[in-house]
Structure 1
Amino acid sequence: MTSTDTAPRRAGSPAGPARLVLPLACAAQFMVILDASIVNVALPSVRADLGFTATGLAWVVNGYLLAFAGFMLPGGRAADLFGPRRALVAGLALFSAASLAGGLAAAPEILVAARLAQGMGAALMAPATLAVINTFFTEPGARARAFGAWSAAGGVGGMAGALAGGAITTGLSWRWVFLVNVPIGAALIAVALVSLARTRSGRRDSLDLTGAVTGTAGLAGLIYGITQGAEHAWTSPRVAVPVAAGVILLAAFVAVEARFAARPMVPLRLFRIRGIAAGNGLLLLFGGITIAMWYFTSLFLQNVLGFSALSAGLGQTPAAVTFMLAARWAGPLLPRIGARLLLAAGGALFLAGFGWLSLAGAGTAYLTGVLGPTLLVAVGIGLTFPTLMAVATADAPEGDAGVVGGLANTAGQAGGSIGLAVLATAAGSRAAAETGASPAEALASGYGLVFLMAAGIGVVLAALGVLLPSHRHTR
């Protein structure tokens, strides 16, 4: 945890204007995750209006995700060097300005550039919100509850994207999918300046530019190549070249951080801390759970049961609400029963929920075959995600809260990208093997395999929970 940019510590939750800190952190996280999906429903209108090619249109989504994941580590270090207040305000300003540019875009290139800038702004915001929580919430129970609220805000943001995007595009225009961020961003900047006004600047070290370039480019190349694996053979140059380049650059990044950087962007000593090392490893694994739940369940509803995109979003809303409630429960439970028991409970719910969901087919009723199991999985995710985030960031040394938050966010993003590529490949192979089945049943078989794999990931995740620190509180 950093103390170089904080006011004098108070036990428990902040008081006065600082009471706005948690709503601010949750609102910023909501925006970050919302914009990863809100544009999806608007893509046909975007393509028709701006004349995108099919390949170019994908970059409206991928540009944001790649910039977000690739710049997370420099964003985390920026929060440590300049203080989470400055990093959060800068991220909100960049995000809002990029949203304005995207909403006013008159050409495909402008919109893609705006999405890249949005992703960079989000990469400043996300780790800064974690650093702010670690700074202002010092008592274990209060911090755990704050992480529960923060996790719930991100989860709801992800689910709200399809609904909000559909409603805004239908009622106004696709441009307002971006423009709506401008007044919200301005309001959050004002709140940040008031609620974080008593924080001091971070330490004045220089930024590790070599580490920032190799780490960012390596992550971007690796994640881009892995995501291409969902559509192309793993031996294809479109997969192998960026993956190989990413691995080489990440190896160079490790060498720079270990031997050459005077002040490393990611000090490798952090991985000697049990909670940080184990927590990030489990977050990487957890990415497959979230992809299986939200992405593949949405595909099942649309491609197998015939739901529209908007109806699929509505069909997943009960699970999103359940996740939000469970994430809030995880906060007070974590200091009482510990991370290991919460992960064990989550693993049991993943096994039951995904196992049940794997039985669904083309004739399955939504209420009995989809709603029930997704509610179980949502409770499991709600208990697991804030627990892992709290453990992975709680023991951050002084001055490293930002980069530790960036590491945790990067692990989750990278895990989701890897999970998407692996699970999509498995689903496609299984569906292709069902030569005698109808298209809907073949797809159902592929998705069923994905859900079984997710159940297995959940069990492994719970078993590996023994690697986490044994203490019940998060400090």
Structure 2
Amino acid sequence: MYENVDERARPGLTLAVVAVVQFMVSLDLSVVNVGLPRIAAALGFSAVGLTWVIHAYALTFGGLLLLGGMTADRFGRKRVLLFGLGVFALASLAGGFTQVPGHLVAARAAQGVGAAALAPAALALLTATFPGGRARVRAFGVWAAMNAAGGALGVLAGGLLTEHAGWQWVMFVSVPMAAVALALAWYGVAADPPATRRGRPDVLGAVLATAGMTLLVFGIVRTDHHGWVSPVTLTTLATAAALLAAFLRHERSSREPLIRLGLFTNRAVAGANAVNLLLGAAMAASFYFVSLYLQRVLGYGPAQTGVQFLPFALGVIVGSVLAVKLGYRVAPRTLMAGGGLLTAVGFAWFSLISADGTFVTDVLGPEIVSSIGFGLCLGPVVSTATAGVAPHESGTASGLLNSTRQIGAAVGLAALGTAAQQRTGQTATPEALNDGYAFGMTLGAVLLAGAVLVALTVLPRTPAAAPEQHDRDLVG
């Protein structure tokens, strides 16, 4: 049943654990979106400060993923997965009890720390368990479906929970899922031996990367108060660039780098991560814009808004299933390019929204088109980014992939959100808000067109073989 599967692994249970983990992590990225207006009213967030409920999670998640991936490679994937699940559950529980804005942002940041440990460990387990063949295509198809379904259903869950149980439950909802994943991983996943090469984790690299990305997003977000060419913005962005440059220099000279920069000479790794970065930027902003458009312009409640994201979840699942069926015959880069193009068309359609529109006329059609395209992209992106990578670097490659997605989400939401706010101006009428959201979706379509271009020009025509598979082919 599972050809090309690591016989030491328990493929069914491993896939179940990874599916639950990915659903939970993706859900947590979007579950708070619909609840943002209620959270702002309850805790007293400012308009700009409210975005940090999202940024705090995305930044710690994205900034620490490389450290989490390397730690999983060195100290055992199951061990790091269990640690991450525990931190994630406790942070989710604490977040639901917060009473002031700063505490909620801190809880979201702690969730990101836990996710940065568990996400690359889970994906590395999947990569090791399904190294190739049809089983790998199916496994990554399941991963893609759960990843996208978690993001879309998170909006539905967030709406229903916010309206009928209180905004606190957008935090509490992750606790039982983390407990289920913890139990499945504890009893169902075989312990893997840590790498023989043990070294000190690159904490300095993680600090430099996280600090640099945090300042980058902070500088972009604050452009609504300080212009792009103001001394404050220029100083903030210059400091961010200096920290990121210091990170790259440190990685070149470190004996135990957070990520081996030579990994980027693999075209599959470099191209797939570039596509992933642009996809993450566009999709994170789209969830934000569409949920606010439905509530602030069309006047729907949180629960209705959540229900109206169901077609997106179903469309992504359809796209993921199509990617599995086509993945046996079509090159991954072709699926990525086709899916990215379809998603860009959906975003361009979204940019035609109007202040006096309706869900059926303005949202449903582009929602279906963009979701199917997104589903076509996800599995091939992940499978390509981890193909041809040595086993001892699988956690690092998985962390890099998750990192580019989260960094893309954080920077994309900051940049596109700020651009939309500037287009809206100071008059928050439905017409002005609509104009800002439409402009943001247009910029998202441009990012997706860039992802298509990268897929066609950077990615290899055929996926790379894993090193051990390549050796077997030579012997055979």
For this structure pair, what is the TM-score category when the shorter chain's length is used for normalisation? 0.7 to 0.9
Q: Deviations over 1:411-451 (max 9, x none)?
A: 11222223223323443444459x9xx94334333333333
Q: Is the 8 A contact 1:64 1:119 kept in 2?
A: yes
| Alpha carbons of structure 1 residues 68 and 198: separation in structure 2 relative to 1, 3 Å | closer
Counterpart residue number, 1:216 = 210
2: distance between equivalents of 1:257 and 1:234?
30
Which piece of structure 1 moves more, 440-449 or 308-317? 440-449
The letter of the residue matching 2:120 is: P
The letter of the residue matching 1:206 is: R
Counterpart residue number, 1:309 = 302
Identity of aligned residues (%): 40
| Alpha carbons of structure 1 residues 314 and 232: separation in structure 2 relative to 1, 3 Å | farther
- 1:470 partnered with 2:461: yes
Q: Deviations over 1:360-379 (max 9, x none)?
A: 32233422332112211111
Counterpart residue number, 2:442 = 452
Counterpart residue number, 1:225 = 219
Deviation of the 1:472 alpha carbon: 5.3
Query: Which secondary structure does the structure 1 equivalent of 2:355 belong to?
Result: coil
The letter of the residue matching 2:349 is: W
Normalised by the length of structure 2, the TM-score is 0.87
Which residues in structure 2 correspond to 1:174-185 (within 5 Å)?
Answer: 174-185=167-178
Q: Is the 8 A contact 2:62 2:403 kept in 1?
A: yes
Counterpart residue number, 2:145 = 152
2: distance between equivalents of 1:52 and 1:291?
20
Which piece of structure 1 moves more, 81-90 or 162-171? 162-171
Counterpart residue number, 1:355 = 348
| Alpha carbons of structure 1 residues 278 and 334: separation in structure 2 relative to 1, 3 Å | same
2: distance between equivalents of 1:390 and 1:303?
38
Deviation of the 1:257 alpha carbon: 1.1
Q: Deviations over 1:329-352 (max 9, x none)?
A: 213422420123213322441343
Q: Deviations over 1:53-112 (max 9, x none)?
A: 777665544332222122111111111111211111110011112223334446665544
| Alpha carbons of structure 1 residues 37 and 357: separation in structure 2 relative to 1, 3 Å | closer
Which residues in structure 2 correspond to 1:57-456 (within 5 Å)?
Answer: 59-105=52-98, 110-203=103-196, 204-229=198-223, 232-236=226-230, 239-259=233-253, 261-432=254-425, 439-456=429-446
The letter of the residue matching 2:118 is: M
Query: Which secondary structure does the structure 2 equivalent of 1:200 belong to?
Result: coil
The letter of the residue matching 2:451 is: L
Query: Which secondary structure does the structure 2 equivalent of 1:363 belong to?
Result: coil
Equivalent residues, number? 463
Q: Alignment RMSD, CA only?
A: 3.0
2: distance between equivalents of 1:365 and 1:57?
27
Segments of structure 1 that go 5 or more residues without pairing to the other structure are 1-8
Segments of structure 2 that go 5 or more residues without pairing to the other structure are 467-476
Q: Deviations over 1:246-287 (max 9, x none)?
A: 21111111111112x112111111011111111112222223
The letter of the residue matching 1:155 is: A
2: distance between equivalents of 1:86 and 1:34?
23
Q: Is the 8 A contact 1:274 1:468 kept in 2?
A: yes
| Alpha carbons of structure 1 residues 108 and 462: separation in structure 2 relative to 1, 3 Å | closer
Normalised by the length of structure 1, the TM-score is 0.87
| Alpha carbons of structure 1 residues 365 and 126: separation in structure 2 relative to 1, 3 Å | same
| Alpha carbons of structure 1 residues 242 and 406: separation in structure 2 relative to 1, 3 Å | farther
The letter of the residue matching 1:11 is: N
Which piece of structure 1 moves more, 298-307 or 366-375? 298-307
